[in-house]
Amino acid sequence: MTRLAGKVAVITGAGRGIGAAIASAFVREGAAVVLAELDIALARETAARIGSADKVLAVQTDVTQSASVQNAVSEAEAKFGPIDVLVNNAGINVFCDPLTMTDDDWRRCFAVDLDGVWNGCRAVLPGMVERGRGSIVNIASTHSFKIIPGCFPYPVAKHGVIGLTRALGIEYAGRQVRVNAIAPGYIETKLTHDWWNEQADPAKAKQATLDLQPMKRIGQPEEVAMTAVFLASDEAPFINASCITVDGGRSALYHD
Ligand code: NDP
């Protein structure tokens, strides 16, 4: 398993969920990986589980702070060398009614879900552009294309992630820096469990989610990770400014 052999990758929000699955898959494929995560205890625990200290490093990182992301990139470079791959995975759900949402809800959502992605890109792009190689993978969402009422402003920020992906992909295409996105549908992580648990009847809410799925199951983080490996690897050299949907067909379905 050497599809990412010799590559150095930074993955934000990699302590658990989709980010942890991506980190684990990258290590399996031969990459040296930095887990840039808010919760450093969680990141260290995940790092110890997925690989040895000579291949995996946990760095406390808040993606809302550009200096914090820059620090993670500097630590990654100091330990492993120049960054080949960045996965902007950290994200939060902020699901509100537009007119009762507070200013803080709006800012919190954009700070993580859009500014956080830009902060990551800005930290690695100068080096990638200078070296004339690099792959950035932004974790968007099917909320980047579709709207569910009551989920404002998360889809607004996630639409922005696609815009950012396309703009930067075009801007640096001539330097062989590829910027792509993955749009997961329902994937079973703490994020989805938290959402079900907030509903009046969690079991019913989970069943309602299942009933929406053409494949009659919810996706697993590893299924997103496999796509991230592909986009990060040299198997996708001409895929740029693009988005791959990983949702079991859900967003293609009109209705049952
Ligand atoms: P989780 O909540 O399970 O994991 C997200 C991770 O990001 C957590 O470890 C969290 O740390 C970390 N994080 C949050 N804020 C920051 C921050 N400011 N700086 C650094 N790290 C941070 O989420 P998922 O794995 O489910 O989601 C990962 C990505 O996938 C997100 O971008 C999400 O929007 C997207 N996505 C998820 C879907 C799903 O169904 N699960 C569907 C579509 C998209 P902490 O716990 O300390 O906050």
Domain locations in the chain as residue ranges: 8-188+220-249
Strands 152-153 and 177-184: unpaired
* Ligand 1, CB within 6 Å, residue ranges: 12-13, 15-19, 37-39, 61-64, 89-92, 112, 116, 139, 141, 184, 186-187, 189-192
Residue 50 DSSP class: H
For residues 93 and 154, the answer to whether their CB atoms sit within 8 Å is yes
Q: What's the gap in Å between 112 CA and the centre of ligand 1?
A: 9
Nearest to 125 by CA among 23, 22, 10: 10
Q: What's the gap in Å between 17 CA and the centre of ligand 1?
A: 7
- pLDDT at site 256: 80
What average pLDDT does range 6-12 have in this prediction?
98
Q: pLDDT tens digits, residue range 97-144?
A: 999 999 999 999 999 999 999 999 999 999 999 999 999 999 999 999
For residues 254 and 192, the answer to whether their CB atoms sit within 8 Å is no
Report residue 152's pLDDT band, with 50, 70 and 90 as the boundaries: very high
In angstroms, rounded to a whole number, what is the distance separating the alpha carbons of residues 246 and 226?
Answer: 10
Given the structure tokens 């620090």, which residue do they identify? Answer: 71
Q: Does 228 score more than 90 pLDDT? A: yes
Report residue 36's pLDDT band, with 50, 70 and 90 as the boundaries: very high
Report residue 174's pLDDT band, with 50, 70 and 90 as the boundaries: very high
Q: What is the pTM of this model?
A: 0.98
Q: Number of helices and strands (H, E) in the chain?
A: 9, 9
Which of 10, 16, 34, 137 has most ligand 1 atoms within 8 Å of CB, for mutation?
16
Nearest to 140 by CA among 168, 156, 166, 161: 161
The three-class DSSP label of residue 219 is strand
In angstroms, rounded to a whole number, what is the distance separating the alpha carbons of residues 22 and 20?
Answer: 5
- State the catalytic residues: 154
Nearest to 186 by CA among 52, 104, 60, 93: 93
- Name the CATH topology of 8-188+220-249: Rossmann fold (3.40.50)
- pLDDT at site 1: 76
